[in-house]
Amino acid sequence: PGIYVCARCGHELFSSRAKYEHSSPWPAFTETLRGDSVAKREERPGALKVTCGKCGNGLGHEFLNDGPKQGQSRF
């Protein structure tokens, strides 16, 4: 339980309340902690490249409509 932060700068990214089990080996979240937690840019249809909203450190992707409920994203 707690807050997940950027490994590079310590910026708060995700809350454990938004974490869920997914088949991928990486932690999966349905939403960011705040609107400025991450920056996003489209990488390909259905997938956004996600970086830390403060320092730009690469965090992976947001997969649109791939969350645990219909219409939710997976980070």
CATH number of the domain bearing residue 20: 2.170.150.20
Q: Does 29 reside within a domain?
A: yes
CA-to-CA separations, 8 to 30, 42, 49, 67, 73, in angstroms, rounded: 22, 23, 17, 26, 24
Q: What is the pTM of this model?
A: 0.88
Q: Does 73 reside within a domain?
A: no
Q: Does 9 reside within a domain?
A: yes
pLDDT value at residue 31: 95
pLDDT value at residue 24: 84
pLDDT value at residue 26: 86
More confidently predicted of 23 and 11: 11
Domain hosting residue 8, numbered range: 3-63
pLDDT digits 0-9 by tens, 21-75 = 988 888 899 999 999 999 999 999 999 999 999 999 999 999 999 999 999 999 9
pLDDT value at residue 36: 96
- Quote the number of domains for the chain: 1
Judged on CB neighbours under 10 Å (0-12, 13-18, 19+), 5 is middle
Q: Does 74 reside within a domain?
A: no
Q: Which residues of 37-64 are buried (b: 16+ CB within 10 A; e: fewer)?
A: bbebeeeeeeebbbbbbbeeeebbbbbe
